[in-house]
Structure 1
Amino acid sequence: MDSTLVHVLAIPLPAQGHVIPMMELAKKLARHGFKVTFVNTDFIHNVVLNASTKNEDDGDEGIRQVSIPDGLEICDTRTNFGRLSEAMQRVMPRKLEEVIEKMNDDGMKIKCVFADNCMTWALGVAKKMGIKGVAFCPAPVTSLALFSTIPKLINDGIINSDDGSIVKQQLVHLSPTMPALSTETFPWVCFTDMNLRKSAFQHFVTSTEDLRYADKIISNSSEVLEPHTFSSFANMLAVGPLLASNTLGNQGGNFWSEDLACLSWLDQQPASSVIYVAFGSSGSPDQIQIQEIALGLELTGKPFLWVVRPGTTGKEATEELAHFKERIGDHGRMVSWAPQEKVLRHPSVACYVSHCGWNSTLEGVSNGVPIICWPYSADQFLNERVICDSWKVGLGLQKDESTGIVRKYEIVNKINHLLGDKNYKLRAMDLKEKLVHCVHEGSSYRNWTNLIEWIENEQVSI
């Protein structure tokens, strides 16, 4: 690593939806000419490396990947967020400090630390060591604005101070100019497990308090997407969508190997004909729901590409899906993990049935693809409202009131509605064009340019 070049460090939250956008950020920094050290936990580092050996296009683009312990044993489960969060806070700050000290001693002095807004303790380490620190929000900046107003929400008696549970169901204005948010869409409220809700809420509170260590706060969003939030919270800078400046569509940081053969299958399908279905890295519909999805896709009569992650289906559903695959033949394709950015760029894709994670949402709108919204946790319910009500590029699904299942005819009707109304596609394409302009010439481009200058030159300010 050339010691004469600017050297920065990036550290994401150890979760798929956070590692991927941080890697996009790292790649953009590397394309500028910076040297980047990317710090994962030991566990996630091994997962990513194992997947990357099977992904043909998963090059590191000059990014140096290192790891530090997360405080848990390798054999421990990492689904208990509270336990993982406590372990990370206890072990990782000192380990990160050791990594930085070693690189500084080896002549690879770190000039700036980029930390996920859920890992802001790392900015405390940077501040202690006299290094510039930038908080990076990979989610909608509205969620970060919401976290910053938690003390007021508590004082106003809207949420409980212990676990964030809703005391008053109502619409909330984070600022006079922002559209109202429903308390039902608060990211931590989706967790029905009260211990998980409490640990997630307290993590959001602590991480947001630690933003005091940040010299800058940037977001993988755009003033085009969240104009009222950025105008109300001037300290939060839009530099996204980062993927819109990734012309190759190669995505690093995946936890699973990608089925690149599905791209050849897409090449054989008519333009704007394929329904793409994917529920992210952690969402997994139950067995009955999977059967309804299969029947709904079959009833549309349209070709489809459906991502079903390994280990997310029980024995009965697995057998049903095997019969389903026999029936549909080459008319549809099921994969364990897809090169999603390339899929959504493909001209054969007509719409995207999505869980509405922010990464997936950005990938959809940045490629002009209308969205069928199927949120299940965190900020996804907030994203659904924005997709359907603000941008008007998608439709939500209604669950059966007695069972909580989205039935096959609801799936068929909403897909037919979305594809039958050309205005959804027109609005999606218009949004795509605005986002491309934003990252190449507009506000995100200007913010990024100023950020780079600030990192390189102490005297430059944003």
Structure 2
Amino acid sequence: MGKPHVLAIPCPAQGHVIPMMELSQCLAKNGIKVTFVNTEFNHERVVKAILDTEKINELISLVSVPDGLESAEDRKDPGKLTEAMRKVMPLKLEALIEEINGTPGDGITCVLTDFFMAGALEVAEKFCVKRAAFLTAAVTLMALTINADKLIDDGIIDEDGTFLKNEMIQLSPSMPKMSTTHFGWTCFPDPTLRKIIFHSLFQNNTSAKLAQHIICNSSNELEPWAHTFIPNCFQIGPLLASRRLGKSTGYFWPEDSTCLDWLNQQPENSVIYIAFGSFTIFDQIQFRELALGLELTNKPFLWVVREDIIQDIDGAYPEGFKERVKNKGKIVNWAPQQEILSHPSIACFLSHCGWNSTIECVSNGIPLLCWPHFGDQFLNQSYVVDHWKIGLGFEKDEKGIIGREEIKNKMEKVLGDGKYKMRAKELQEKIIDGVEEGGRSRKNFENFIDWIKEN
């Protein structure tokens, strides 16, 4: 009999692909074969970017399936992508499993899907293989999603997910408060898109019940209430490749590693790191205020600016900005974030507060400045600011802009008040203990490995 063989299926977004790849590398390190399924569009990007990084484990195979969109269609439209994938993915996954199973002794023994792609579990059930779901977000987000019907019954949202009152709620006294305007689906201003996303999540809840095992990239130290509230969700995080595996992979863009050489030349605990993930878009006014805010701090900074973060990227910067900051700042298209956050020169992280970025930051004891844009990022900010107290958010002016002075002032407060760094370091120690020998996350992961290997 061959090795256990896992079919790993991430959501087609950078913040989901990276942790699924990290988990896949952990599985491969434990002798489990993994076939990693990206959409054709993302597969091409990952393979291209991986040429500039270390090779992935020999037990991991990268394959692809269509996402249902034409090559020129907009894959940053979540509604269009969600509907297209719902139509084509099940049949494509069935065909892929049948093809793999055609090789004697190499058949799929377990389907491991992103929790928000739980429709793949229905395919797994047809083939009578093990079924597992992986949550790449905070457990609170899953708790909110699976309680959507209760939110409707309580009159908090309507049947299309639209909030009926602008209020703060808590699912339990130990959980962070959440604004109804900042639920994962209510952040989309377009009502049609909001409806599509909400009903997709609602449908996903039904499919997720097929999971025999649910694991998440979180820890008891970050969300101590989680296992009590959702008993079948086991925390195995943080899945930091830099600690367990050596180097992360699965990025959509080639990394600019020159920033590491630049960091080596900066004083310890001096650099502001700024990055907004793979989806955030800026308008020109806000982009310029951010640039001028960084300049006002007069501190060294490393700023990740994707080519598509704003229209007309070359003309987006304030006049003379690059020349004025050339001795203080470095700007790159994409960066090896885990290596950056573990670098001794980093003092704080200005982030969109995606869960990956948040958990990577706290795992390195770095204070945060929170600039959420959509989805679960507002929930993650509430963890950082209100629960863990390791960072601050920003206030917008009457025009909805975060001004340069606000940026400068909040940076100075986080950098100047040692309590943020102290609490960040204390939280780091707790969560790292969880993944060491005997820690709860470590035990949960080992139990998951044993479950996959059982006949």
TM-score (structure 1 length as normaliser) = 0.95
Deviates more, 1:220-229 or 1:317-326: 317-326
Q: CA deviation at 1:61?
A: 5.1
Checking the alignment, whether the CA contact within 8 Å between 1:393 and 1:424 is kept in structure 2 is yes
Match of 2:425 in 1: 429
CA–CA distance in structure 2, aligned partners of residues 211 and 245 of structure 1? 30
Q: After the TM superposition, which residues 100-139 of structure 1 pair with which residues of structure 2 at under 5 Å, given as runs?
A: 100-107=97-104, 108-139=106-137
CA–CA distance in structure 1, aligned partners of residues 58 and 262 of structure 2? 28
Q: CA deviation at 1:284?
A: 2.0
* 1:301 to 2:331 alignment: no
Q: 2:24 aligns with which of 23, 26, 35?
A: 26
CA–CA distance in structure 2, aligned partners of residues 176 and 389 of structure 1? 14
Checking the alignment, whether the CA contact within 8 Å between 1:37 and 1:63 is kept in structure 2 is yes
**3-state secondary structure, aligned to 1:395:** strand
**3-state secondary structure, aligned to 2:308:** coil
| Residues 23-71 of structure 1: per-residue CA shift (max 9 Å, x gap) | 1111111111111100011111111112222x23363553100011111
Q: CA deviation at 1:248?
A: 5.2
Identity, % of aligned pairs?
Answer: 50
Match of 1:313 in 2: 310
Q: 2:226 aligns with which of 200, 205, 229?
A: 229
Checking the alignment, whether the CA contact within 8 Å between 1:27 and 1:61 is kept in structure 2 is no
Match of 1:267 in 2: 264
CA–CA distance in structure 2, aligned partners of residues 326 and 171 of structure 1? 45
Checking the alignment, whether the CA contact within 8 Å between 2:36 and 2:62 is kept in structure 1 is yes
Unaligned runs of 5+ in 1: none
Checking the alignment, whether the CA contact within 8 Å between 1:355 and 1:376 is kept in structure 2 is yes
Deviates more, 1:433-442 or 1:366-375: 433-442
- The 3 A distance-change label for structure 1 pair 78 and 314 is closer
Checking the alignment, whether the CA contact within 8 Å between 2:242 and 2:339 is kept in structure 1 is no
Q: After the TM superposition, which residues 47-446 of structure 1 pair with which residues of structure 2 at under 5 Å, given as runs?
A: 47-53=45-51, 55-57=52-54, 59-60=56-57, 62-107=59-104, 108-162=106-160, 164-175=161-172, 177-243=174-240, 246-247=243-244, 249-315=246-312, 318=315, 320=317, 323-400=320-397, 402-440=398-436, 441-446=438-443
CA–CA distance in structure 1, aligned partners of residues 242 and 274 of structure 2? 24
Q: CA deviation at 1:321?
A: 5.1
**3-state secondary structure, aligned to 1:209:** helix
CA–CA distance in structure 2, aligned partners of residues 312 and 175 of structure 1? 37
Match of 1:453 in 2: 450
- The 3 A distance-change label for structure 1 pair 104 and 432 is same
- The 3 A distance-change label for structure 1 pair 179 and 265 is closer
CA–CA distance in structure 2, aligned partners of residues 61 and 433 of structure 1? 32
The amino acid that maps onto 2:137 is: A
Checking the alignment, whether the CA contact within 8 Å between 1:52 and 1:254 is kept in structure 2 is yes
Q: CA deviation at 1:171?
A: 3.0
CA–CA distance in structure 2, aligned partners of residues 213 and 431 of structure 1? 34
| Residues 412-447 of structure 1: per-residue CA shift (max 9 Å, x gap) | 111111011111111111111111111123111111
CA–CA distance in structure 2, aligned partners of residues 15 and 403 of structure 1? 31
- The 3 A distance-change label for structure 1 pair 372 and 382 is same
TM-score (structure 2 length as normaliser) = 0.96
- The 3 A distance-change label for structure 1 pair 360 and 324 is same
Q: CA deviation at 1:76?
A: 2.0
CA–CA distance in structure 2, aligned partners of residues 405 and 308 of structure 1? 19
Q: CA deviation at 1:397?
A: 0.6
| Residues 150-187 of structure 1: per-residue CA shift (max 9 Å, x gap) | 0111111110112x111123333323543443323311
- The 3 A distance-change label for structure 1 pair 299 and 245 is closer
- The 3 A distance-change label for structure 1 pair 120 and 21 is same
- The 3 A distance-change label for structure 1 pair 372 and 249 is farther
Q: CA deviation at 1:235?
A: 1.3
Deviates more, 1:24-33 or 1:249-258: 249-258
Equivalent residue pairs, number: 453
- The 3 A distance-change label for structure 1 pair 284 and 100 is same
**3-state secondary structure, aligned to 1:377:** coil
The amino acid that maps onto 2:16 is: H
Checking the alignment, whether the CA contact within 8 Å between 1:178 and 1:232 is kept in structure 2 is no
**3-state secondary structure, aligned to 2:317:** helix
Checking the alignment, whether the CA contact within 8 Å between 2:35 and 2:61 is kept in structure 1 is yes
The amino acid that maps onto 1:129 is: F
The amino acid that maps onto 1:414 is: K
Checking the alignment, whether the CA contact within 8 Å between 1:244 and 1:439 is kept in structure 2 is no
CA–CA distance in structure 2, aligned partners of residues 393 and 377 of structure 1? 21
